A and B are shown apart, each in its own frame.
Chain A
Amino acid sequence: METRLPPPPVPPAPASAPAGGNPGAAASAMTAPIIDIQHLDFFYGQAQALQDITLQIPEKRVTAFIGPSGCGKSTLLRCLNRMNDLIDGTRIGRGTITINGIDIQRPDVDVIELRKRVGMVFQKSNPFPKSIYENITYGLRIAGVKNRARLDEVVEKSLRGAALWDEVKDRLHQSGLGLSGGQQQRICIARAIAVEPEIILMDEPCSALDPLATAKIEELIHELKTQYTIVIVTHNMQQAARVSDRTAFFYLGRLVEHDDTRTIFMNPANPQTEAYVAGRFG
């Protein structure tokens, strides 16, 4: 087995579920929100993909976005680091996304800097066809870091952070594509944490992985949340229940309900949420 990091200081799941489904208010898994989304409307051309989303995402917690395909959860995730800018014809119709008190849609926001602060791990693991070392140092190199000792240090730290160091330390200079699917996804996580973001967005990071690799990533997410705010999109309800502190349920571009994960799964306020988490639709 791999080396275990010390257990996270925050318990993985809230100790007690709050009585009501009152979103946000006095929830035990809620810390100070780092991301604040207010009344967000989002369009692909003429088609509205998100409608009036209002959601706070707490710092150093794992927030899961769940919902059936096409419900807009990935779209919302990609709004958070403005990856949707790359798609022609997308626009935000109304509403704001505030990260650390800054409205990220403002024209004077440095998108490059934003994406360094808000890292992303994609559904399909996409290690670059370069060596593992080059993959991990990519973010630093394009930022102009050349100091070899610093790069070496970051590679080790990031790979340890992604629980991958012991598996790859002897082949840092071989291609990242020679690794297994789960290892490739952890390379992508290591690559993301190498630039020391505050927030890590994960877009169905385990959907292409086998259960064993998935378990490793989930374990990693538990460890990462001591340092990072994590937002994860998942189709797998058990996964959301296992890894997240807060869960937001989306349906047809609307946020139906968001609350502590335990509340969402044990005692949802909305019958639609209950039907979805019970597997009756979606």
Chain B
Amino acid sequence: MPASAESPSPLLRTRLGPAQIRECAVFWGFRAATYLVLLCGAFVFGTIVWNGSKTVFSPKPPFINVEFLTAAPESLYVFEYQGKKLELGDRAFRAFKAEHHLADIKAESYVYSAGGIFPNIVGTVLLVAGSMAIALLLGVAAAIYLSEYARDGWFIRAVRLAILNLAGVPSIVFGLFGFGLFVLFAPRIGPAPVASVWHFQLWPLHSYVNFVGWNVSLLAGWFTLAFMVLPVIITASEESLRGVPRGFREGSLALGATKFQAIITNVLPYALPGILTSSVLSIARVAGETAPIMFTAAYVVRDKLPWQGLTHWTDFFFQGVMALPYHIYVVSAKIPQNEYTERVQYGAAFVFMLLVALISLASILLRNRLRSRYKW
């Protein structure tokens, strides 16, 4: 650079060099990419919250659309009567016809677009609770084995590799796996052999194990969803178990604790906050995945709520349920999109988001309580 009278020192810039321009471009490129993500997120959430709140909230007291949260889905009928356009749910429409002695009236109908989504909320809560219970039980047990008991070797390395690979399996594959294993094949105990499937007698009892499958049921959904999040739970649990200082284990053992006692009293409690952190993410995934449950647990429509009409308590586990994510899929993709169906589409999505946020919040609060109890 030629020195001139105006620039007394080469340290002072007179104009932007190529390095500065590149630096500036890169900086703005990164910044724009970050803000774009934010923008997309805000747009998605904004649309759902804005449109969904029209369904869930109401301008008049009690300000919450109680029917939407507590009723079952119904068909919506749209028709003209004496020059006015009316929208009525199924039952209201039939009552209206009876009241006005209308045998036949031309009405457009839209399934699931009236009523509420109560059975779906119930179904999703049941699916989340059951599958998280199974996933945590199995996952924490496996993590304890891997971090506390297993000695490193080719077998344990293979197990870890399998866990990692399992985490990368698409959810639709889990759905088909669950369908094949739990819905069609899983064993059930019955009083008599079922000739058409593989079976054996449960010696010495007078009952038989028949591989008839669990059908589309809560149980099948629980296990399918649990298997889907197991890798995350195992990996994160192992990590938090390893994070517990060695001194606590040695301190326990030096006082005459067995290994199991040391783990239960002096390792696991301190790892729980970390384990719960990972399960918060898993909850959102379990609640939201549609593919695994559409083969294994979800019905499009079912009149009975899960606790209604059970002849035996075990029937509870062998019934399918309606679930929010599957309902969202059905009302968004399987019925026409228009002003009449929009209500339930956005409403269901909004309630679903609130539900996941609520369950996650509950587990975060639980974690924080544990964390403040066991600090080191």
Q: Interface residues, chain A, CB within 8 Å of chain B? A: 81, 83, 86, 88, 112-113, 115-116, 119-120, 122, 124, 126-130, 138-139, 142-143, 175, 177, 188, 191-192, 195
CB distance from B148 to the nearest CB of A (A): 10
Complex contact A129–B256 (CB within 8 A):
no
What per-residue 1/0 map shows which CB atoms of B231-256 lie under 8 Å from chain A?
Answer: 00000000000000101111111111
Number of chain B residues whose Cβ lies closer than 8 Å to a Cβ of chain A: 22
CB closest chain-B residue, reference A129: B376
- Please give, as numbers and ranges, the residues of chain B lying within 8 Å of A138 by CB-CB distance: 252, 255, 257, 265-266
Residue B58 is within 8 A (CB to CB) of chain A in the complex:
no
List 6 extra interface pairs beyond A83-B250, A126-B248, A128-B251, CB under 8 A: A112-B256, A122-B251, A129-B374, A138-B255, A142-B261, A143-B256
Complex contact B256–A128 (CB within 8 A):
no
Picked from B250, B256, B376, the residue with its CB within 8 Å of the CB of A139 is: B256
Contact of A195 with B247 at beta-carbon distance under 8 Å, contacts A129-B270, A129-B375 already known: no
Complex contact B247–A122 (CB within 8 A):
yes
CB closest chain-B residue, reference A117: B256
Complex contact B375–A142 (CB within 8 A):
no
Complex contact A142–B257 (CB within 8 A):
yes
Give the complex CA separation of A119 and B255 in angstroms: 6
Picked from A115, A129, A188, the residue with its CB within 8 Å of the CB of B253 is: A115
Picked from A116, A124, A129, A177, the residue with its CB within 8 Å of the CB of B255 is: A116
- Please give, as numbers and ranges, the residues of chain A lying within 8 Å of B245 by CB-CB distance: 126
Chain B, range 245-288, C-beta contacts under 8 Å to A: 245, 247-258, 261, 265-266, 270
Give the complex CA separation of A120 and B374 in angstroms: 23
- Please give, as numbers and ranges, the residues of chain B lying within 8 Å of A119 by CB-CB distance: 254-255
CB distance from A229 to the nearest CB of B (A): 16
Residue B151 is within 8 A (CB to CB) of chain A in the complex:
yes
CB distance from A133 to the nearest CB of B (A): 14
Most A C-beta atoms less than 10 A away, residue of B152, B254, B376: B254
- Please give, as numbers and ranges, the residues of chain A lying within 8 Å of B251 by CB-CB distance: 122, 126-128, 188, 191
Picked from B250, B261, B270, the residue with its CB within 8 Å of the CB of A126 is: B250
- Please give, as numbers and ranges, the residues of chain B lying within 8 Å of A192 by CB-CB distance: 254-255
Complex contact A120–B252 (CB within 8 A):
no
- Please give, as numbers and ranges, the residues of chain B lying within 8 Å of A81 by CB-CB distance: 254
- Please give, as numbers and ranges, the residues of chain B lying within 8 Å of A126 by CB-CB distance: 245, 247-248, 250-251
Q: Between A and B, how many residue pairs show CB distances below 8 Å?
A: 70
Q: Which 6 A-B pairs have the closest CB atoms?
A: A126-B247, A116-B256, A139-B255, A120-B254, A129-B376, A126-B251
- Please give, as numbers and ranges, the residues of chain B lying within 8 Å of A124 by CB-CB distance: 247
CB distance from B10 to the nearest CB of A (A): 53
Complex contact B254–A115 (CB within 8 A):
yes
Give the complex CA separation of A115 and B151 in angstroms: 23
Contact of A86 with B375 at beta-carbon distance under 8 Å, contacts A139-B256, A195-B256 already known: no
Picked from A86, A142, A177, A191, the residue with its CB within 8 Å of the CB of B250 is: A86
CB distance from B209 to the nearest CB of A (A): 39
17 A-B contacts (beta carbon < 8 Å): A83-B253, A86-B253, A112-B258, A115-B253, A115-B255, A116-B255, A119-B254, A119-B255, A122-B250, A124-B247, A127-B251, A129-B270, A130-B374, A139-B255, A142-B265, A188-B251, A192-B254
Give the complex CA separation of A175 and B252 in angstroms: 17
Contact of A88 with B151 at beta-carbon distance under 8 Å, contacts A126-B245, A128-B248, A128-B266 already known: yes
Give the complex CA separation of A83 and B253 in angstroms: 8
Give the complex CA separation of A93 and B257 in angstroms: 27
CB distance from B372 to the nearest CB of A (A): 11
Give the complex CA separation of A245 and B261 in angstroms: 37
Contact of A177 with B252 at beta-carbon distance under 8 Å, contacts A142-B257, A142-B261, A142-B265 already known: no
- Please give, as numbers and ranges, the residues of chain B lying within 8 Å of A128 by CB-CB distance: 248, 251-252, 266
CB distance from B178 to the nearest CB of A (A): 38
- Please give, as numbers and ranges, the residues of chain A lying within 8 Å of B261 by CB-CB distance: 142
- Please give, as numbers and ranges, the residues of chain B lying within 8 Å of A115 by CB-CB distance: 253-256
Give the complex CA separation of A213 and B252 in angstroms: 24
- Please give, as numbers and ranges, the residues of chain B lying within 8 Å of A139 by CB-CB distance: 255-257
CB distance from B133 to the nearest CB of A (A): 27
Complex contact B375–A195 (CB within 8 A):
no
CB distance from B286 to the nearest CB of A (A): 31
CB closest chain-A residue, reference B249: A86
Give the complex CA separation of A119 and B253 in angstroms: 10
CB distance from A88 to the nearest CB of B (A): 6
CB closest chain-A residue, reference B265: A142
- Please give, as numbers and ranges, the residues of chain B lying within 8 Å of A86 by CB-CB distance: 249-250, 253
Contact of A142 with B376 at beta-carbon distance under 8 Å, contacts A88-B151, A126-B250, A128-B248 already known: no
What per-residue 1/0 map shows which CB atoms of B110-137 lie under 8 Å from chain A?
Answer: 0000000000000000000000000000
Picked from A83, A177, A195, the residue with its CB within 8 Å of the CB of B376 is: A177
- Please give, as numbers and ranges, the residues of chain B lying within 8 Å of A83 by CB-CB distance: 250, 253-254
Give the complex CA separation of A142 and B375 in angstroms: 22
Give the complex CA separation of A124 and B151 in angstroms: 26
Give the complex CA separation of A18 and B252 in angstroms: 41
CB distance from A44 to the nearest CB of B (A): 15
